Amino acid sequence: MRPVATIHEPLLAWYDGAARVLPWRARPGERADPYRVWLSEVMLQQTTVAHATPYFLAFTRRWPNVTALARAAEAEVMAAWAGLGYYARARNLIACAKVVADGHGGRFPDTETGLRQLPGIGAYTAAAIAAIAFDRPAAVMDANVERVLARLAAVETPLPAAKRVLAELAGALTPAARAGDWAQAMMDLGAMICRPRDPLCDRCPLADHCRAHALGDPVRFPYRAAKAQRPRRHGIAYLAVCKGAVVLERRPSTGLLGGMLGLPTTDWRAEPFTVTEALALAPFAAEWRTAGHIEHVFTHFALTLEVFEASLARPQAGFQWTPIVEARQVTPSLFAKALRLRPD
């Protein structure tokens, strides 16, 4: 890899002409709205740009600034988040908006240190906001940037152990001027050119600087340690249907899918449930029958959810009944999968 100064010019020149047009971005050379940067970065955690974009547009239409979001009802924000996954992010989003609106006059801190004090903002998000919204020389490290850096320097230490080395390299490369454009240029280079399986080295502005390219095998970088197999858990979901509506319940505010609407379920455990157990744990007496099962993967475990269904002639009192079409829109993808077991 050549000296740092020789890398900045070609990458920023490429970015000036090839930057992705994204709804939360400003044009190259301009600073973005901190609220939009923050919201997009939170949504993009563990989520693709294509999937997050319609949620971002819906959120910013409904809550155009951090103060508006801070004043929103929590249930409305959680419902609008349904389908994005990792629901602790939504709870932190609400908490952070309230702190910024009430404690900072609706203005985000403009340093990494200040941003790290806000709920739900970790090192990566703080660096991204500081660089992109405030042009601070912060080293922004997402998966795309890690891949670019690992190939530029041909880092043979496998991830995640290589993160420290890559972070140091990112810090050394981050320029004092146009730091926000540099961060986004590195992200775009990884997303558009330095792709995981089919890198377009012939189009890369940094090909002449890249050790992995010189070695003739960029795809083998970054090295990755073997992943441990996820443990599996089992649970039962209860799909009670009456006149086109289903029973939903608000999940506890803490834990996975906290605060979200979902189908009634058992706890999730290592051993499968027997039919006898499933019937005994049902939310109310009915003619429950198996409707199938769904598979879902969380960060730390995989879940097999058996679905028991009951059709009722009249709604069971004491429960929240929601039209199936609406239920599919306001519940997390786990329960949306279960609801799709019904054709209507």
Residue from 9, 41, 306, 309 carrying the catalytic annotation = 41
41 given a catalytic annotation: yes
* Region of residue 213 (left: phi > 0; alpha: psi -120 to 50; beta: else): alpha
Q: How far is CA 328 from CA 119, 261, 293, in A?
A: 29, 10, 17
Residue type at position 256:
L
Q: How far out from the chain centre does Cα 274 lie?
A: 35
Taking the CB of residue 93, how many other CB atoms lie within 10 A of it?
22
Q: 248-275: buried (b, 16+ CB within 10 Å) or exposed (e) per residue?
A: beebeeeebbebbbbbbbbebeeeebee
Going by C-beta distance under 8 Å and a sequence separation of 6 or more, which residues neighbour residue 83? 55, 332, 333, 336
CB 155, CB 130: distance < 8 Å: no
Task: Tokens for 248, please give them.
Answer: 């939903």
CB 309, CB 241: distance < 8 Å: yes
Active-site residues: which are they? 41
